[in-house]
Amino acid sequence: MAEAPTTLAQAHNSTKAFAAQAKLRATMIQATRTIALQRALGLTKLRLRAKGFRVSDYTRRELVTHAEQYLAAHREELIAEAKQIAEQWRRNGFFGKRAVHITPIL
């Protein structure tokens, strides 16, 4: 079990580290959601083209609605794929140089 900080400086550093992890966690969750939705949108466009429809005939709102439905139906696989991509981005320093040194959270 981790020891409680004994000095004010240790407490401050501990709080900063916790805040950095919380911020990274929120960023990673949002990135994962965004990546999954982008992938669903791309696959939705491919499906429409395969059926002979033109993507330009649809509004952005209609495409996103179809993509959200696709995401709901294929959530597990899209989220798993998106988590791997977001984790690779974290390791490459995409979310800041400090994020590289924080243990993976997803």
Q: H helices of the chain, where?
A: 8-50, 60-73, 75-91, 97-101
Look up residue 92 and give its DSSP letter. T
Of 61, 64, 30, 60, which is closest to residue 44 (Cα–Cα)? 64
Which pTM was predicted? 0.74
Give pLDDT tens digits for 61-106.
Answer: 999 999 999 999 999 999 999 999 999 988 888 877 655 555 555 5
Instruction: State the CB neighbour count (10 A cutoff) for residue 99.
Output: 20
pLDDT at 64: 96
Beta carbons of 89 and 95 less than 8 angstroms apart? yes
Give pLDDT tens digits for 58-70.
Answer: 999 999 999 999 9
Per domain, the residue ranges of the chain are 27-101
Give the model's confidence band at 3: pLDDT under 50 very low, under 70 low, under 90 confident, else very high.
low
